[in-house]
Copies of this chain bind each other. A is one copy, B any other.
Amino acid sequence: MDEISIGLIGFGTIGSGVVQILKENQAILEARTGFRIKLKRIADLDIHTDRGVSFDESILTTDAYQIIRDPEISIVIELMGGCEPARTFITEAIRNGKSVVTANKALLAEHGLEVFETARENSTDIAFEAAVAGGIPILRSLREGLIANKFDKILAILNGTCNFILSEMTDNPGASFNETLQRAQKLGYAETDPTLDIEGIDSAHKLVLVLALTHGIHATLQNIHVEGITRIDPFDLVMAREFSYKIKLLAMIIRHGTKVEVRLHPTMIPQNHPLAQVDGVFNGIFLRGDMVGDQLFYGRGAGREPTASAVIADVIELIRNRRLGKAGRVPPLGYPGHLASADSVLDMNEVVTNYYIRIQAIDRPGVLSRIAGIMADHNISIHSVVQKRRDRSGAGAVPVVFITHSAKEADVQKARQKIGNLDVVDAPPAIIRIEDEDLD
């Protein structure tokens, strides 16, 4: 049986999962592929911590170049994360003719074009299924299985930490964002420094990759609206339930002819939407193809074994390509030629959607009329309004919640500022966008 040598750079959680799967499922992998994968070397700065997997420890090294420069190794797995030195290592590996498997969404979202171009010049492949939605085979589904479709709409829950926090806040009315975050940290579902997750950066990196694969548009975080979940108030979740909605942090790509809406923010979706059932640390991708119609992919978007499962699937794909003697069977970003310009991304100000607007207003005659007047001045038509006295009796301000008909983002932002400046209003209104096809 053919033996193919591979190397692993970055021996953290996912790296340990790769070692575990190669060992535990060796027999079935060999039966399915007809070749043997030999993990020849593992590089990490820390080669002493016990990772809870058993393997020949003599393959450990602190020097990544023992992998990058080893002519026997044909596939390099990069699981360090971060931009440097991952970028240098990957680039060097490619220049040495190796194919690369990575889960590094930050690197690919920020320097993908350059890395892919280097791979093309050197006739090697880069695969990165593990970078988006962990164990769910969504990238190869978008890039290959659904290749005959224009993607009219993609709505995706791509960050398990945020989805866990929002699910918990939904199930425990009144629980604040901060206490729920702490709970997630205790359970190991949130990092000690959770910024990348809760501010939406991690999801946005994944969104950039999905956008490139599905629309051939290479955007950066600067081209798209990115908003995390830190400003969600427990009251918003209570109201969401009253309106039969759930709040999810959604990565959204919506096509309008040649322009595409690309945005990442907390979103209210109907409770009967397929994504509304995607709770806890799970990820879900809902898509509408012009030919296939609606589809949902659901599964674990993070974690040691699920993510390692995606890494190994990529390793096998790249080995298969190399055995055919050729890389580039499938263009890594979905389009072989030039990517469309980021100009195709619709300006956020031009986005038209429905809004949930929460305002803390003094309970006094005429206030509602002044607020509604400002909305009317900005072409914002109101679908429904609810005024509630919160449990904090005695407080002067009460929350008033509006659901709007379709309105333009620029108008809503202007109205938001004007309303926030009213003397009878506590703070700038809180806004959560709504994705509800039954609302006009």
Interface residues of A (CB under 8 A from B): 17, 21, 24-25, 28-29, 31-34, 129, 134-137, 140-141, 144-150, 216, 274, 277, 289-300, 303, 305-306, 308-310, 312-313, 316-317, 320-321, 324-326, 329-331, 334-337
Contact = CB atoms under 8 A, between A and B. Distances in A.
A303 B21 CA distance: 38
A316 B317 CA distance: 16
A160 to B, nearest CB: 12
Contacts of A299: 292-296
B337 A31 contact: yes
A194 B24 CA distance: 45
Given A135-B293, A137-B141, A141-B145, 13 more contacts: A17-B291, A21-B148, A28-B150, A29-B147, A33-B336, A34-B331, A135-B291, A135-B295, A146-B309, A147-B313, A293-B303, A293-B306, A295-B298
A275 B300 CA distance: 16
B320 A291 contact: no
Contacts of A306: 291-293
B150 A292 contact: no
Q: How many copies does the complex hold?
A: 2
B294 A145 contact: no
Contacts of A28: 150
Contacts of A310: 145
A137 to B, nearest CB: 2
Contacts of A331: 32, 34
Contacts of A145: 129, 137, 140-141, 310, 313
A396 B351 CA distance: 66
B33 A291 contact: no
Given A277-B274, A306-B293, A313-B147, A329 B335 contact: no
Given A33-B336, A149-B309, A329-B320, A25 B291 contact: yes
Contact of A144 (B21, B296, B317): B317
A291 B309 contact: yes
Given A141-B141, A216-B31, A329 B324 contact: yes
A325 B325 CA distance: 9
A334 to B, nearest CB: 6
B293 A300 contact: yes
A309 B289 contact: yes
A32 B29 CA distance: 30
A308 B137 contact: no
B277 A21 contact: no
A135 B296 CA distance: 12
Contacts of A320: 329-330
A289 B300 CA distance: 11
Contacts of A321: 324, 329
A46 B234 CA distance: 64
A292 B274 contact: no
B144 A313 contact: yes
Contacts of A337: 31, 34
A399 to B, nearest CB: 32
A328 to B, nearest CB: 9
A141 B140 CA distance: 8
Nearest to A216: B31
Contacts of A300: 292-295
Given A141-B145, A145-B129, A335-B32, A309 B324 contact: no
Contacts of A309: 146, 148-149, 289, 291-292
